[in-house]
Each structure stands twice: as structure tokens, then as C-alpha cells.
Amino acid sequence: ELLRLEIKSVDDLIGPGAAPGTVPTDLEQSTGLERLEILGKMEGVDIFDMRPLDASRRGTLENPIMVKGAGEEQYAGCTGSPADSHNVIWLTMSRDRPIERCPECGSVYKLEYIGPEDDDHGHHDDHGHHGFEEPKTFADYVKPSYW
């Protein structure tokens, strides 16, 4: 029998805790994203879509490997094409810089943002977080037509 649970507010992501004198289960003591993940698994839903990325081909600028993400940044590990052609190279994509290229094999990855549309993703008038400016990389010098 499947347990039908609905998450309607943040309050639904706070576990009830354990009864006095007992050891809590993960479901009873979990909160936030961990609780959402456990509730999803109980329903047979992989909340964070942990399936491997497409490694059957090398991503290109015209046809990148798409990486879904609901947050400000998303990390992806590239092992080359075919899979395991090189050691894992971790790449960071963000909403501001959604395209990354693996420095080892050249495969191109692109963030597909699937989060809430009204999220201003940290943009402030000062274009920096308390004076912090992200260091420049080669991506800052790519022709605009590539983006």
C-alpha cells in the first residue's frame, strides 16, 4: 500500500520526532530537504533525480549535455565519453554561467534550471555579495555568440 503524502508548506518538512524513551527513525527525526527526499522515496519518486548523466556522447556547444538543477549552482562530474575515459572532473554550473566545458575531454554541459520562477537567485543592486566578486575564468572571455 502506497502512502499518499502531500507537501503543502515548510511545516510538512518537520518530522514529529520520537516518542519518549524510543530511538527515532530517519523519517521521525528528519527535517527539510532530507525529509523531502525520504518522503519522495516512500512514494517511489527520486526527488533529486540522481540518475547518471548521458555519457553516450560528448556534449558540444550546439548540443550540450543537459544538467537539471533547482538551486543557484549545480555540480556535475564528467568521466569522459565513453564513460570512465578519464578520472572524474567536477564542473560547476550556475544560473549566471550555465555552460561549462570539461578541461580533460572538452564535453560541454549546460544547466537547465527547474526551480521556482520567482527566485531572484541572489541578484542585488551591487552585483556582488558584500563586495565579493567572482574570479574571472576562461569562460569570461568566450565570444558572446557561444552563450
Binding-site residues for Zn(2+) = 78, 86, 102, 105
Please state the residue numbers annotated as binding site.
Answer: 78, 86, 102, 105
Place of cell 527566485: 119
Q: Check the CA dihedral 13-114-134-50 and report its sign.
A: positive
Q: Which three cell numbers stand for residue 131?
A: 563586495
Biggest distance spanned by C-alpha atoms of the chain: 64
> Can you tell me whether residue 38 is helix, strand or coil?
helix
Give 119's DSSP letter.
-
The helix (run of H) or strand (run of E) holding residue 28 is helix 26-29
